[in-house]
Chain A
Amino acid sequence: MLASLQNGICSERLALSAYQENFADAHPPLTATQAQIEAERCYYCYAAPCQTACPTGIDIPSFIARIAQGNPRGAAAKILEENVLGGMCARVCPTEVLCEQACVRNTNEDKPVEIGLLQRFATDDFFANPQPPLFIRAADTGKKIAVVGSGPAGLSCAHRLACLGHQVTIFEARAKLGGLNEYGLAAYKTPNNFAQQEIEWLLSIGGIAVKTNTRLGQDIFFTDLVSTYDAVFLGLGLSGVNALGISEPETLGLRNAVEFISDLRQAEDLSQLPVGRKVVVIGGGMTAIDAAVQSRKLGAEEVTIVYRRGQEGMSASDYEQEWAKNNGVTIRHWAAPLELLTSEDGQLTGIRFAYTQLEEGRLKQLSESFELAADMVLRAIGQNFDSNHGVEGLAMQSGKILTDENGKTNVAKVWAGGDCRFGGKDLTVEGVQHGKLSALDIHRSLSQAA
């Protein structure tokens, strides 16, 4: 029997060569010629709508003009001065709902300038030869700042603070820096260990000490940080995973999508990763898409995303949904999980869903239901703030940290940003902006105090 047709959860469903092909760069970079042609399409708009649409406010017309003028280093500088993780954002930003959605070329041509790919071109060119340094650290201020969490928000905050001359210590719970850049995101979005390459460059500014395998609430404690450091930035992310809200039996087949993705990102040999023959992913966001598509790419025969609301309610962009469908993923709407089905020996065999509909603006489960065969079910219905961090005294809202527009919390000397901050859209690029704004605010605050 073909390995791909084997029921249950197993590895090596595909020929070895298929793994490399499936997980290669999903959107290959532009060649120099393509970049030149594309860059010349930019109109160099006044107060450009793309720049306004970019959460980090990159001066997009300028960086594109610099590409067109044969100045890719200058282009990279324009990008990185506003978004220090501009290389990763060029790979993972949902540009179709951000900068490219705002491009004035859409009006007549329905074809925006490919800003994301141009940003990748400029940053790739820079990272291939990042000398001499773009950023020089200011004179040491003697101020010590703790950055907890090393996802996009923490890294961005740390880099900006280091630039401004402060001494930063990053505390990271996991073994590697990067947060979702390293442990989340589909592998084909950021192949060739780009996340670590970018971080290595980012840290090269100096003034940033790193403590990995150090978890807040376990190895270090909030009150200690606040009393020891001149300022604390919390970029904790959302490490808890929402439950399905139904009975969840202990079964091998039921997993968190974020862990499935994390295993995939860290795998040395993708062929050794187990995946089901029939996979159901529950959720409607980017995590659901990344988990579903990667399941397919690992050799799952049938992959279905099931979302409890309609297509328009999915937080994954239209482009991402299209990407999933093109990779053979089925997306079903208006259904909520009801029951996980297991065999007598405890193997997952399927999942039963209730149909749903909106009634007077409220989502209601109907009495009718259907079953999908599944040997693997991935939860992707959102993450939540881990209460074990022990951040007592912080004002919270909807389970996230409440801050002002610069990320300042109600606790003196404490800022927060990224996915753990209330009111965000859970985007990498937004995390970068949070970190940057908080760093600037911390700097202002410490400068005034001095």
Chain B
Amino acid sequence: MADLSSNFLGIKSPNPFWLASAPPTDKEVNVIRALEAGWGGVVWKTVGEDPPVVNVHGPRYAALLGTDRRVIGFNNIELISDRPLGANLAEMARVKQRFPDRAIIASVMVPCTEQAWKNILPQVEDTGCDGIELNFGCPHGMSERGMGSAVGQVPEYIQMVTEWCKQYSRLPIIVKLTPNITDIRMPARAAKAGGADAVSLINTINSIMSVDLEKMAIYPNTAGAGSHGGYCGYAVKPIALNMVAEIARDPETAGLPISGIGGITTWRDAAEFMTLGAGTVQVCTAAMVYGFKIIEDLCDGLSNFMDSKGYQNLDQLVGKAVPTVKNWNQLNLNYAEKAVINQDLCIKCGRCHIVCEDTSHQAIFATKNGERHFEINEAECVGCNLCVSVCPVADCITMRTLQAGEIDQRTGHQVTGEYANWTTHPNNPGASCS
């Protein structure tokens, strides 16, 4: 059976699934429930200076719902812990003592002054926790006060604070990054330059969940007025995957450990983050939607997947797919695929036809001999994958690779089987001779 134990920056946990710094890790009672359920570790909800912050006394969360009221996306306007620092630290210490084999990470956010960090870090370290995560990501509320994403959006601040933390703490420092930037590599590089042991990402994305059209006010709101929240949950996973991969493949940050966060709901999501470079993964929304028991399914699924593919430990999985992430100009323009509809599986809903006809390449026939029948017209198919994406039946439409020597019916060109990308393409005014 695959070994799911994790060693991230020397911090050991029985599995790579940590609960992210968020409401599920705000109190001892929640954290104990999580650890008893089997979570590998927790990043304790962000602590700050006393007096503690105050939250709104009304809706903090809202969801983007899909079919059958499944939560697709989620947002929140909750601030960092609204409990006294001492209470959090005492609980943290007790939990670490009770669960020495689990990763207990303290998330910390204080104002951007050296003294503030110098004051808090030793107190946090005294709890016996395994590491510190710097919350440079929270995009709402705290950012208005010059903390959270207000720091994470300025690489110079990231580097400066990270340096202070490395100076005043012996613990591993994980810098949590905000996605509310233009290029994730810049803050990651700054964290590394400041001496960070790892980065974690993504924090939440600025968002307004919806507008209540009856009350003509944004939703959720507090006494009729609302503020943007932080968006998370399954819907942000593709954004997070890209940012994780960008850091993993950036020569300046390659090898910097990453704790992956962003919409992880199933073992498959976790495995994907790990293959793109995440050493551990952090989960919040899925737990807030289904409870802590999902850890059993996450571990079981990951373990069975690894067994089926022959991966014995997490190290064999982490970063495995990173080499496949390239700049567009490195993609092989001589390569071609065509869609194929499996007629035995086709239920004849016609969605592939109408979307191809209306919005793409008019490459799917709707009839054959006067009968309703959906079939690819290879003379028009550009291999765009739209039909695959909209088909309601799994594996009904697949993509076929044109083999070397085959004629692409659309272009009339023979597939050469040779690699050639945009950098050498005749249409590229800046092409170099290959």
Contacts and interface: CB of A to CB of B under 8 A. Distances in A.
Interface of A: 37, 40, 43-49, 104-105, 107-108
B350 A47 contact: yes
List the 4 shortest-distance A-B pairs measured between CB atoms, nearest first: A46-B350, A46-B354, A107-B347, A104-B347
B353 A46 contact: yes
Contacts of B350: 45-48
B68, B348, B372 — most chain A CB neighbours (10 Å): B348
A108 B393 contact: yes
B392 interface: yes
A196 to B, nearest CB: 35
Contacts of A44: 351
A107 B354 CA distance: 20
B347, B348, B354 — most chain A CB neighbours (10 Å): B347
Given A49-B348, A104-B347, A37 B366 contact: no
Contacts, number: 32
A45 B68 contact: no
Contacts of B392: 43
A104 B348 contact: yes
Nearest to A41: B67
A271 B351 CA distance: 53
A242 B257 CA distance: 87
A47 B349 CA distance: 8
Given A104-B347, A108-B347, A49 B68 contact: no
Given A37-B68, A44-B351, 7 more contacts: A46-B349, A46-B353, A46-B354, A47-B354, A47-B372, A49-B372, A104-B347
A108 B342 CA distance: 14
Interface in B390-413: 392-393
Contacts of B67: 40
24 contacts: A37-B68, A40-B67, A40-B68, A43-B349, A43-B392, A45-B348, A45-B349, A45-B350, A46-B350, A46-B351, A46-B366, A47-B350, A47-B354, A47-B366, A47-B372, A48-B350, A49-B348, A104-B347, A104-B348, A104-B349, A105-B347, A107-B347, A107-B348, A108-B347
A49 B350 CA distance: 10
A153 B339 CA distance: 47
A266 B67 CA distance: 44
Contacts of A105: 347
B395 to A, nearest CB: 12
Interface string B344-360: 00011111011000000
A188 to B, nearest CB: 31
Contacts of A49: 348, 372
A47 B350 CA distance: 7
Interface in B206-259: none
A128 B353 CA distance: 39
Contacts of A107: 347-348
A140 B230 CA distance: 59
B343 to A, nearest CB: 12
A99 B351 CA distance: 18
A277 B347 CA distance: 49
Given A40-B67, A40-B68, A45 B351 contact: yes
Interface of B: 67-68, 347-351, 353-354, 366, 372, 392-393
A334 to B, nearest CB: 36
A397 B393 CA distance: 48
**Helix, strand, loop or mixed for chain A's interface?**
loop
Nearest to A109: B347
Nearest to A33: B69
A43 B351 contact: yes
Contacts of A47: 350, 354, 366, 372
A47 B353 CA distance: 10
Contacts of A46: 349-351, 353-354, 366
A102 to B, nearest CB: 10
A45 B346 CA distance: 13
B360 to A, nearest CB: 14
Contacts of B372: 47, 49
Nearest to A44: B351
A84 to B, nearest CB: 28
Contacts of B347: 104-105, 107-108
Contacts of B348: 45, 49, 104, 107
A49 B351 CA distance: 12
A331 B392 CA distance: 41
Contacts of B68: 37, 40
A194 B348 CA distance: 37
A241 B347 CA distance: 44
Contacts of B366: 46-47
Contacts of A104: 347-349
Nearest to A37: B68
A101 to B, nearest CB: 14
B232 to A, nearest CB: 24
Nearest to B372: A49
Contacts of B349: 43, 45-46, 104
A346 to B, nearest CB: 60
A107 B347 CA distance: 6
B64 to A, nearest CB: 15
A3 B353 CA distance: 64
Nearest to B350: A46
B37 to A, nearest CB: 30
A310 B354 CA distance: 43
Nearest to B392: A43
Contacts of B353: 46
A294 B290 CA distance: 49
A45 B349 CA distance: 5
A40 B65 CA distance: 12
Nearest to A52: B372
A445 to B, nearest CB: 32
Contacts of B393: 108
A43 B352 CA distance: 12
A37 B66 CA distance: 11
A45 B351 CA distance: 6
A114 to B, nearest CB: 15
A37 B354 CA distance: 25
A34 to B, nearest CB: 12
B165 to A, nearest CB: 49
Nearest to A105: B347
Contacts of B351: 43-46
B3 to A, nearest CB: 39
A150 B260 CA distance: 69
A288 B68 CA distance: 40
A45 B354 CA distance: 9
A413 B351 CA distance: 44
B411 to A, nearest CB: 28
Nearest to B393: A108
A45, A46, A105 — most chain B CB neighbours (10 Å): A46
Nearest to B66: A40
A257 to B, nearest CB: 39
B350 to A, nearest CB: 3
A105 B349 CA distance: 9
Nearest to B364: A46
B212 to A, nearest CB: 13
Contacts of A40: 67-68
A277 to B, nearest CB: 49
A47 B393 CA distance: 18
